[in-house]
Amino acid sequence: MHGPMATTVRTKEGNWRVQVRRKGKYASQTFRLKTLANEWAVETERLIDLGGEPSSHRIRDLRTVVDLHIADLHEVGRPLRRSKQAVMEALKRDLGATRIARLDRATIIKYGQRRAKQGAGPVTLSVDLSYLRTVLTHAAAIHGISVDTESIRLARAALTRLGLVGRSHERDRRPTEDEIEALLDYFDKNSNTIIPMSRIVRFAIATAMRQEEICKIEWSDVDLNKRVVLIRDRKDPRRKDGNHQKVPLLNLTGFDAWHLLLEQKVLTGGKGRCFPYHHQSVGTAFRRARQKLEIDDLRFHDLRHEATSRLFEAGLSIERVALVTGHRDWKMLRRYTNLKPEDLHKHQTKDQATEEAFLRSLADG
């Protein structure tokens, strides 16, 4: 017996079946070890006393909680994306065998120190802890499983003080005019690839689109008359799916997005995807060119930074730039407004032509 409200008996198979009856609520589970059965009984009684519902799942370790979280997301049509899936697998590998009742502050700190020794940086470890908290909060909210998320908060604070957890540094690398010219010249002369990298680089600087976004645009989502393209499921920290955005095809950054798409339409026949290439292949081609030209520390994503900066330099306001880049939080755009002092001479008066061109691109869009 385990208290007046729980009964533990041994089955014919040698397992231990525990039943909890408390405050009109009932729950039962079967365990291989009696100690596990007793632990579950204590946790279930405590949960009922706190007003929660006893769980119908055999929650013994973190691995089970992670699998339950993933299964629940699949059930509602929200499967994990690749990056989150990798974090979940890492949690299962490194902490999966840890029983929920023993997932305390000291255990999480040791996990963080071990991950750091394996090469995980402050940002990576911060993401790990965020997902760990998400999984445990989900278990508590959806399944009534008793968890201790306070331990994660305390462990994060300790790991932050140790310098093992931290935020990412804002990257402000912009390619120089010479670097852009060298890249375009290299791609124009390189006939070894079927990917029109020169046009893609120009299009990236014209639109501030990410390489994944460029490579998934369908011709059915392009309105060449209104000069607007629909980007489906655009990346947003607060919305992973259904975040469709219309983006104007402008000519304000030194490259004409609308004209570049017209060129691409001739190449593709206007069917399927506008740029029918895998985004990873585009990234590989870009890195190969960068290495060949000995350009230091330049990524394809820096072209988005370059495009955003050029839109500000063209005289667009922060809210209009956000319509192009897709930023929902204008605070994230403030770092792009740190323009060169000499650029201010170009914009002492409002550039009416720029304003009219922008508004025309949005008309009926």
How far apart (Å, rounded) are the C-alpha atoms in residues 186 and 169? 31
pLDDT higher than 60, residue 338: no
pTM: 0.57
Find the length of the chain.
365
The string over 52-77, giving b where at least 16 C-beta atoms fall within 10 Å of a residue's C-beta and e elsewhere, is bebbeeebbbbebbbebbbeeeeeee
How far apart (Å, rounded) are the C-alpha atoms in residues 17 and 32? 9
Note the pLDDT tens digit of each residue in 118-163: 888 888 899 899 999 999 888 877 777 777 788 999 999 999 999 9
pLDDT for 162 equals 92
- 146-150 contacts, C-beta under 8 A, 24 or more apart: 146/43, 146/46, 146/47, 146/50, 146/52, 146/100, 147/100, 147/103, 148/103, 148/104
| CA atoms within a 13 Å half-sphere pointing along the CA-CB vector of 173 | 14
Note the pLDDT tens digit of each residue in 4-41: 568 888 988 888 888 888 887 777 777 778 887 888 78
* Cβ-based neighbour number of residue 135 at 10 Å: 21
pLDDT higher than 60, residue 189: yes
Of the candidate ranges 161-165, 334-338, 339-343, the one whose mean pLDDT is the lowest: 339-343
Residue 236, token pair as written in the block: 């947003």
Question: Considering only CA atoms, which of 209, 308, 298, 194 is closest in space to residue 257?
Answer: 209
How far apart (Å, rounded) are the C-alpha atoms in residues 65 and 148? 13
